[in-house]
Chains A and B, each alone.
Chain A
């Protein structure tokens, strides 16, 4: 049973436009959420996180939104750049579970020049 799901395996966006990556979760005990970016043959790089006490966190071009009632979070990248092309993983953790991360399956973002 996948507790964290990224239902879109891929997303294609034009340079300069907004990229919206979505993530759904089922475990209501999750209280911390993260986004990672991964290039091929490299380890994931931490991008941005959000605690369940917030509904929005912004860092430069990256904004994460959390909708707890819908158990949904999204990552917005504005404006999108070709260098943003990568696989993006969302992850969630619960303080009750020792902060172990549960990852989604990833979404491949392609930003076209």
Chain B
């Protein structure tokens, strides 16, 4: 069966510091991968998606970036965090079907 991992589970970072969140998927090949953010009291906002290694599409322009160095690894990064980057970050995967399956999420607090 497929599983999706995210780490760290929680993170507290100062403004201006870098960020690296990692997501890995097991049990499937060539998945579509997604990064979402859930800000407090709001829905899920798609940040990035990837249909293959090195292929990244950005949905929202911001100071975040994503990379997919391996088939089942998806990384969310920032060079300098802003206060507004605080939120709950979710990674998801899907295969050829429409359903996306989510990881456990990372709670990021920028102080």
**A residues apposed to B, CB below 8 Å:** 6, 32, 34, 36, 41-46, 49, 89, 91, 93, 98-106
CB of B36, distance to nearest CB on chain A (Å): 8
Contact sample, A vs B, 19 pairs, CB 8 Å cutoff: A34-B99, A41-B88, A41-B107, A43-B102, A43-B103, A43-B105, A44-B90, A46-B101, A49-B98, A89-B43, A89-B44, A91-B44, A93-B98, A99-B32, A100-B46, A101-B100, A102-B46, A104-B43, A105-B43
Complex CA distance for A103 and B34, rounded to whole angstroms: 13
Interface residues of B in 33-72 (CB under 8 A from A): 42-46, 49, 51
Residues of A with C-beta under 8 A to B87: none
**B residues apposed to A, CB below 8 Å:** 6, 32, 42-46, 49, 51, 88, 90, 92, 94, 98-105, 107
Complex CA distance for A42 and B104, rounded to whole angstroms: 5
Total A-B contacts with CB atoms under 8 angstroms apart: 49
The one of B42, B45, B88, B99 that contacts A46, using a Cβ cutoff of 8 Å: B99
